[in-house]
Chain A
Amino acid sequence: MIVALAFLLSITILFLDITFSLPEKFSDYPLYLQFIPSLLKYLSLGTLAAAGFLVVIVFTLLFGRVYCSTACPLGVLQDIISFISKKIKKRKYVYKKPLTKTRYSILIVTILVFLSGSVITFNLLDPYSNFGRILSNIFQPIVVGINNTIAFFLESFNLYWIYPVEFRGIEIFSLLFSIGVFGIVGWMSYKHGRLYCNTICPVGTFLGFISKFSLFKIGITESNCISCGVCERVCKANCIDTDNSSIDFERCIACFNCFTSCSTEAIEYQFRYLPQKKDGPIVNISKRDFVIKSAVYFVGASAVLKAQKKIEVYKENEIPVIREYAVSPPGSVSINNFTDNCTACHLCVAACPTHVLQPSFLEYGLLGIMQPRMDYIKGFCNYDCVICSQVCPSGAILPIKQESKKLIQLGIAKFEKDNCIVYTQKTDCGACAEHCPTKAVRMVLDPEVNKNAPKIDEEICVGCGACEYACPTIPYKAIYVKSNPSHLTAKLPVQEELEQPDLEEDFPF
């Protein structure tokens, strides 16, 4: 139980660390054992350092589904809900028949869809990812709200101990989905304990299947049993049938409630000799040629943006800018690699300090629903930040070093002259060049308007989106990043030496 709470708390803190005070590496520990992300990371990296899921399988082969009772944050969350439910209303569990067909159908569909090359089912059903989304989509905004209210209050007494955190809106689909899942999981656990785990969760079913072969299993020693039924009533997985003195170990989530409740020590781990060993499903993903249906979307004409800017005095620009593909985060290598591995747990979304990573809707196509994309309307990718690559547990964003990140070209900036203020208003602007970290955008004199106008050097552009984010035109941007579906390598900007001034000289005035 302490282990379970430790996992839950550390994962929760990870997602709710709105002030970004945790070291990035912290995420490695609680997330190492998350089954599906770790499986995906292992498949794409092939290193044992990413093989948390193997550890889970080994544990399951030894003792059953301990993952479900300790490491799985959604599972522990359910326990908390049922705990509260029992406090409110004295509730007793009873043995229920397993819903084997439903369970296995879901598992089989999940696996089949995965083998056919899409992670969409993982995406929708993985308990860790769902937990992550519940935290980042529902709870994070609440925490931010509370934080900001307190900050606002203190600040009115001139106390600046805590500061308000910027909130850049939510992606409505992800929010609704998370609320839906939270509702279902909440209701099921409120009424029936771990029903979700034993009906819907594919990880639960899969581990249940493996636990059929586990070395030790929980069983009833009939000579000690007085058939009092206490154990059945405390079993939140509804898997103890005292009438028949049997335990459905496939559904047992190894919470050990029965151990502690049994007065006669009739329940214990029993050795089950089983020579035949089972391996995890090693799938060859390199051959998955999954076609992304890219959704075309407009750059700039977002409702959020419109809502923000109130004072307008000049006429809006007219050329709609169209981006064909979404921009995937640095370290994701390509859109394909990203969508193949991302389970949309939204940890990177929660961890990104500039809020550029946002849940997508259909920008990656139907199969990539909710997977994060770079949203250059909400933020830009900080030149030396690599946080998302360090927290991503599934290998969808591979770990990268700061120096190499500076050369990853996520996309290329494109200029739409007819939307640009220098041309539409004939006044100076330069917000894009101001923000560009490599000076791929610089202001160069254009004799046509006798003003400095943006010029792009595509070779050194890294596609960070700073220019697009800063560009103040509305409703469409005059500069935007066109995605590289496969990331490329940018050139380093070359810098000539400057002549140092002579300090002995007099002031020029």
Chain B
Amino acid sequence: MKRREFFIKSAVAGLGTAAYLKFGNNFDLFANTKTAPDNIYDLVAIKGGEADVMFNRAINSLGGMKRFVKPNQTVVVKPNIGWDVSPERAGNTNPKLVKQIVKECFDAGAKDVYVFDNTCDNWTKCYKNSGIENAVKEAKGKLVSGANESYYQEIAIPNGKRLKEAKVHELVLNSDVFINVPILKNHGGAKLTVAMKNLMGVVWDRGYWHRNDLHQCIADYATLRQPDLNVVDAYYVMKRNGPRGVSEADVVTMKSQLISTDMVAVDAAAAKLFGFDPNDIDHIVYANQMNVGTMDLTKLKIDRISL
């Protein structure tokens, strides 16, 4: 029973008591809806344009937004909004890109598009100063807070090695489509943050991950459910001092974007773009071993586009 139903059923009684329910394998309901037709690319790498333009072009190579979002579905878009910094500091996902994604979801017939992140700095400030609040509002999406434990529900991670359970934001659990929109940047602990690392923003107890082998936990969580789509923003890229950065001096302009349904592939490609060998980034290696996806880019059909 979902909390929503629980509430409706129990009406006003028992306000304030959390329905503390495990979700188990409810996910299977939505999984496997996205086996790609043969003629479609596994990964699209694009460079040289504005973030929204690149996205439009890239999503077409993947079969268009309609392949991922069906009429009347609810979508949750998870950008990185972790830090109270301006877009030029490249701490958060490019607001233009977020706006374009929300728009395209609606064009594909989405009923509701929610956007949230469990931020590191004060969330209202992050949403505002990242430019994402405005972008989402303009595209008529709904911005939701991630800053309260009551949003998160505990679910089991059957294939996790160190991470056996996690408290996950209800939007991720309740929505039909999940679009992961990380920004590519340097990271003090995880070396690099891209798609898999971005999912730390949908769980509540991040400290646990840090305490219990960060890389393994990142890979463990990735075994749970692949996002339906991963869009890596590499327009501005923070090359050092990540994930927060100190000033704009940490940032280079790459004007690139990577999109794929495979988190491991997209992370491996992003690592190369950044200038790292994916083999040096433990969570990519672990996730590859655990069959979350493939880090062997030679096996993939890649569309490389220069605008």
Interface residues of A (CB under 8 A from B): 19-20, 145, 148-149, 152-153, 155-158, 160, 163-166, 309, 311, 313-314, 353-354, 382-385, 421, 425, 427-431, 433-439, 442-443, 452, 470, 472-474, 493, 495-501, 503, 506-509
Contacts and interface: CB of A to CB of B under 8 A. Distances in A.
Contacts of A425: 211-213
B254 A501 contact: yes
B125 A430 contact: no
B53 interface: no
23 contacts: A148-B16, A153-B15, A156-B6, A160-B142, A164-B148, A166-B148, A309-B208, A353-B122, A353-B125, A421-B210, A427-B212, A428-B214, A430-B187, A434-B189, A437-B244, A438-B246, A474-B211, A498-B239, A498-B240, A507-B273, A507-B304, A508-B272, A509-B273
A500 B253 contact: yes
Q: Is the interface of A mostly helix, strand, loop or mixed?
A: loop
Given A160-B144, A442-B241, A20 B205 contact: no
Counting chain A CB atoms within 10 Å of each CB, the highest count among B142, B212, B251 belongs to B212
A383 B205 CA distance: 23
Interface string B1-14: 00110111000000
B189 A428 contact: yes
A501 B47 CA distance: 12
Contacts of B255: 503
A460 to B, nearest CB: 9
Given A156-B7, A498-B250, A148 B150 contact: yes
Given A425-B212, A498-B251, 10 more contacts: A148-B150, A353-B125, A430-B189, A434-B188, A434-B243, A495-B247, A495-B250, A501-B253, A506-B304, A508-B272
A430 B275 CA distance: 21
Contact of B188 (A158, A443, A493): A443
Interface of B: 3-4, 6-8, 15-16, 45, 47-48, 84, 112, 114, 120-122, 124-125, 142-145, 147-148, 150-151, 162, 165, 187-190, 205-208, 210-216, 239-244, 246-247, 249-255, 268-269, 272-273, 275, 282, 297, 302, 304
Contacts of B208: 309, 311, 472
B45 A507 contact: yes
A153 B11 CA distance: 9
Nearest to B112: A158
Contact of A153 (B7, B165, B275): B7
Contacts of A470: 120, 207
Contact of B84 (A313, A382, A421, A497): A382
A382 B188 contact: no
A19 B213 CA distance: 36
A433 B252 CA distance: 21
A156 B16 CA distance: 12
Contact of A164 (B125, B150, B253): B150
A156 B6 CA distance: 9
A495 B248 CA distance: 9
A500 B45 CA distance: 19
B15 A431 contact: no
B249 A497 contact: yes
Nearest to B7: A156
Contacts of B244: 434-437
Contact of B207 (A164, A309, A506, A508): A309
Contacts of A153: 7, 15
Contact of B210 (A429, A437, A500): A429
A149 B6 CA distance: 15
Contacts of B205: 309, 311
A438 B247 CA distance: 9
Nearest to A500: B252
A164 B142 CA distance: 16
Contacts of B114: 160
Nearest to A380: B121
Given A439-B241, A498-B239, A431 B207 contact: yes
Contacts of B272: 507-509
Contacts of A496: 249
A430 B150 contact: no
A428 B147 CA distance: 25
Nearest to B18: A152
Nearest to B148: A164
A157 B151 CA distance: 13
Counting chain B CB atoms within 10 Å of each CB, the highest count among A382, A442, A474, A498 belongs to A498
A163 B148 contact: yes
A353 B188 contact: no
A473 B249 CA distance: 32
Given A156-B3, A164-B145, A437-B244, A508 B150 contact: no
Contact of A428 (B206, B215, B241): B215
A87 B246 CA distance: 61
A180 B297 CA distance: 68
B213 A430 contact: no
A437 B144 contact: no
A430 B188 contact: yes
B187 A429 contact: no
A392 B250 CA distance: 36
A500 B206 CA distance: 33
A420 to B, nearest CB: 11
Contacts of B7: 153, 156-157
B15 A149 contact: yes
Contacts of B304: 506-507
